Amino acid sequence: MIRKKRERTRFLILHFWFVVIGILFFGLHLSYSQNVEDLTQNNVIVRLRFSGPIGPISARYIISGIEQANNLKAQFLVLEMDTPGGLDESMRDIIKAILNSSIPVVTYVYPSGARAASAGVFIMFASHIAAMAPGTNIGAAHPVSIGGNALDTVMKDKVTNDAAAYIKSLAHRRNRNEEWAEKAVRKSVSVTETEALTLGVIDLVAGSLEELLQKLDKREVKIDDHQLILQTASVKVKNYDMSPTQRFLYLLTNPNIAYILLMLGIYGLFFELQNPGAIFPGVIGGISLILAFYSLQMLPVNYAGLALIILGIIMFILEVKIMSHGLLTIGGIASLFFGSLLLFESPLPFFRPSIVLLGLVAVVTALFFALIVSLGIRAHLRKPTTGKEGLVGETGITQDVLSPYGMVLVSGELWSAESIVGEIKKNENVKVLEVKGMVLKVKKV
């Protein structure tokens, strides 16, 4: 009877929680639906803010923002951008999302001092409306090989012609200056915001988002085959920023962070192998190495540089095991430094780690392993302090006459001894010169 009551109680509790969870989900659904409806009714726009090189993570953020704005049925989307360029594949993914958007996309080079270079130029030309803030510039869209490998003439012409045709098609679609767009690709020309407005590269110049919205009011925008008239008098701005996960992943694409993680991973595993069971260095090293591999797949990595870094670490490990009088350490430092220089070989500065960071890592590594080598040499040269070898050089007192054999007291222990300089009387001080088997070779002090 008691068992049945317990089962019935559990059954009721379980159903109670199912009902509670169902109500919560239903409430969240209503809240989200109401939120979307309110945003739509209140004439909302979505604002994205991005600064940095174009890559897989930044492309994912911008594309998800465009999808979010379309789902909310926002009036239009504003992308505030400051970029030196980036990866061609990521740029094309962003452009596809813009071209297939059912709402207008306004790309705004902001704030003052920002730029839209390389891949940023293509994104500007793909946008329904292109705007710039005072003190900004646009241009320099000539394609380069991010891996640092020089392209042959035929391949270089193919890449350049492809990029030129692509940007001309975008300029034609948005009724912008096709001639200048081609020059930006073939001759890397760059202009200020006022020159861009005069040349028909952009649509307007605005010093702030508020001014931009004022200038967009009553403006006609063509979406596919129909015209939209923007109404920005009482518009509400909804910011769509990077999530913490996206920010973290974007941080990992920084070559400086990737290099630091790689070195932490290598050193962590090195210390774990040198001191098995320490655990902490191994855990930190393993996590850092996995994060470094994720970062490296997002960056143009030269595997010759990675091989040189690994070779340098191997030399450091061998120096600890083998006495090379510093030669392996010197070779390891040189291998580590040159490997670091080659690791992210790219003509684009935002795909290379800081030379200051590389020099700092090389110096710290050199000092650390120089310390280890010096301690190893001192350990080898240090006089033994335990065992039979530790008795050499110690003094003792004879317990009887050594003629030449007898007993001596050394370090509180009685030993058989042999005098090598003639007879030694009892209670004389002697010094141990050698240990042969269980017999000490001594002489009178």
Dist. CA 327–CA 339, nearest whole Å: 18
Q: Could you tell me if residue 216 is left (phi over 0), alpha (psi between -120 and 50 degrees) or otherwise beta? A: alpha
Selecting among 96, 158, 425, 426, the annotated active-site residue is: 158
Rounded CA-CA distance 153/173 in Å is 30
Q: Is 118 a catalytic residue?
A: yes
Match 């003509």 to its residue by tokens: 347
Q: How far is CA 422 from the centre of its chain?
A: 75
Query: SS3 letters for 270-286?
Result: HHHHHCCCCCHHHHHHH
Residue in the structure block whose two tokens are 């951008």 = 81
Altogether, the residues listed in the chain come to a count of 445
Q: Residues near 140 by Cβ (< 8 Å), separated by ≥ 6?
A: 85, 117, 118, 121, 184, 188, 189, 190
Single-letter amino acid code for the residue at 204: L
Q: Nearest-CA neighbor of 222 among 125, 80, 127? A: 127
List of residues 6+ apart from 405 with CB closer than 8 A: 416, 417, 418, 419
DSSP H or E run through 77: strand 77-82
Residue 119 phi, psi (nearest 5): -60, -30
Please say whether the dihedral angle defined by the alpha carbons of residues 108, 114, 116 and 119, taken in this order, is positive or negative: negative
The tokens for 159 are 């890449």
State the catalytic residue, choosing from 118, 288, 295, 346.
Answer: 118
Show Cβ contacts of residue 385 under 8 Å, excluding neighbours closer than 6 positions.
Answer: none
Nearest Cα to Cα of residue 138 among 96, 84, 182: 84
Tokens 């795909």 locate to: 351
Sign for the CA dihedral angle at 212, 204, 111, 177 comes to positive
Shortest CA distance to 252 belongs to which of 296, 219, 213, 208? 296
Residue 440 in contact with residue 410, Cβ under 8 Å?
A: yes
Is 90 a known active-site residue? Answer: no
Q: How far apart are CA 1 and CA 206, in angstroms?
A: 79
Catalytically active residues, by annotation:
118, 158
